[in-house]
Amino acid sequence: MAVMTTEPPPSATRPLTAESQGEKNPQSVFFLVLLWLSLAFGILVLVVLIVTTFIDGLPRMDLKLFTNYTSQVDPSNAGARAAILGTILVIVTTAILAIPIGIAAAAYLEEFASKTSRFARIVELNVQNLAAVPAIIYGMLAAAAALAVGLSRNTVLAGGIALALLILPVIIVSTREALRAVPQEIRQGSLALGASPMQTLQRQTLPAAIPGIATGTILALSRAMGEAAPLLLLGALVFVQFDPNGLLSGFTTMPIQIFNWAGRSQEEFKQLAAAASILLLAMVIALNAVAIIIRNKFTTAR
């Protein structure tokens, strides 16, 4: 360093690129390689996971997987029909329950609650805590609640409620972020023209925040779609040989079916689990891709 102060200006740039201090000394290069490897490790595991699942599952990626019910004894003819239909039904129920409540709660915290409101602060602390509660605890809540009101716990409705409560904090947090990103001028302009706060929210703020809300909500739903832990607590859902046909019907979902098949000893059931995993992965990755596209499209437009 002392060299720098004594050297004249033209050569003053040199010590910065010199071997000892520059970006290309062995230490720095080694450090950068380590960083590269960390990132590469994550990506590599993702690729390996997808490839191995494909290799294991591809032989059973046939029509029977979609049309047949599961079987106790005959893995070559077993399918995930009940699980596919169950997943769709439960996720739709979850979405119908979680989206309006999540957006409304976020709108309250972001647009209506005063900074000093004690209620708002308690809600905020609760949301933060609920976001970190293990998924399986939500299953215990849903099971206990179903018992308390005298409903049967292994129903689509109970499953939807458990998953909706699970993803509610995620939706609230991402909706709040989206609302916060809407410029204050839009609200002020609307209020100045005589709109009520509720009209402002409904006609200005919410529409402007839709891309952000959509991204967060889609990611949250994709998480719910892959979640099995809370549903395990809802009782015997592992062997379902009928189509779910309503909110109070019994059901199973893809993750539960995969869990069940993966636990069997026969190799064919593991193949079947891998085939169902491909299907589940495809759905989850598709949802993630949609969310990322929405995010990228609207962040560049702004």
Within 180-219, which residues bind another protein (CB under 8 A)?
A: 194, 196-199, 202, 219
Residue from the set 133, 151, 210, 282 that interacts with another protein by CB under 8 A: 133
Judged by beta carbon, residue 45 or residue 246, the one nearer another protein is 45
Q: Which residues within the stretch 241-280 sit at the binding site for another protein (CB under 8 A)?
A: 255, 258-259, 262-263, 270, 273-274, 277, 280
What is the rounded CA–CA span in Å between residue 156 and residue 248? 6
Q: Are 165 and 126 in contact (CB under 8 A)?
A: no
Amino acid letter, residue 197:
P
Q: Which residues within the stretch 98-117 sit at the binding site for another protein (CB under 8 A)?
A: 100-102, 104-105, 107-109, 112-114, 117
What is the rounded CA–CA span in Å between residue 188 and residue 234? 48
Say what the alpha-carbon torsion angle 21, 22, 28, 29 is, to the nearest 10 degrees: -150
- 136 binding another protein? (CB under 8 A): yes
- 232 binding another protein? (CB under 8 A): yes
Residue from the set 160, 169, 211, 244 that interacts with another protein by CB under 8 A: 169
Judged by beta carbon, residue 22 or residue 207, the one nearer another protein is 22
Residue from the set 11, 13, 14, 52 that interacts with another protein by CB under 8 A: 52
Judged by CB under 8 A, the stretch of 78-86, 205-213, 220-228, 243-251 that binds another protein is 220-228
Judged by beta carbon, residue 21 or residue 245, the one nearer another protein is 21
- 88 binding another protein? (CB under 8 A): no
What is the rounded CA–CA span in Å between residue 301 and residue 219? 21
Judged by beta carbon, residue 201 or residue 246, the one nearer another protein is 201
Please choose, from the candidates 129, 163, 180, the residue with its C-alpha nearest in 3D space to the C-alpha of residue 234. Answer: 163
Upper half-sphere CA count for residue 242 (Cβ side, 13 Å): 7
Judged by beta carbon, residue 156 or residue 291, the one nearer another protein is 291
Say what the alpha-carbon torsion angle 28, 29, 33, 35 is, to the nearest 10 degrees: 20
Q: Are 179 and 205 in contact (CB under 8 A)?
A: yes
Q: Are 168 and 98 in contact (CB under 8 A)?
A: yes
CA 301 to chain centre: 25
How many residues make contact with another protein (CB under 8 A)? Answer: 103
What is the rounded CA–CA span in Å between residue 58 and residue 53? 8
Judged by beta carbon, residue 23 or residue 185, the one nearer another protein is 23
Residue from the set 23, 115, 149, 302 that interacts with another protein by CB under 8 A: 23
Judged by beta carbon, residue 16 or residue 210, the one nearer another protein is 16
Upper half-sphere CA count for residue 192 (Cβ side, 13 Å): 6
The least CB distance from residue 91 to another protein, in Å, is 13
Contacts of residue 264, defined as CB under 8 A and 6 or more positions apart, other chains included, come to 75, 270
What is the rounded CA–CA span in Å between residue 112 and residue 96? 23
The least CB distance from residue 136 to another protein, in Å, is 5
The least CB distance from residue 122 to another protein, in Å, is 6
- 56 binding another protein? (CB under 8 A): yes
- 301 binding another protein? (CB under 8 A): no
- 95 binding another protein? (CB under 8 A): no
Judged by beta carbon, residue 79 or residue 230, the one nearer another protein is 230
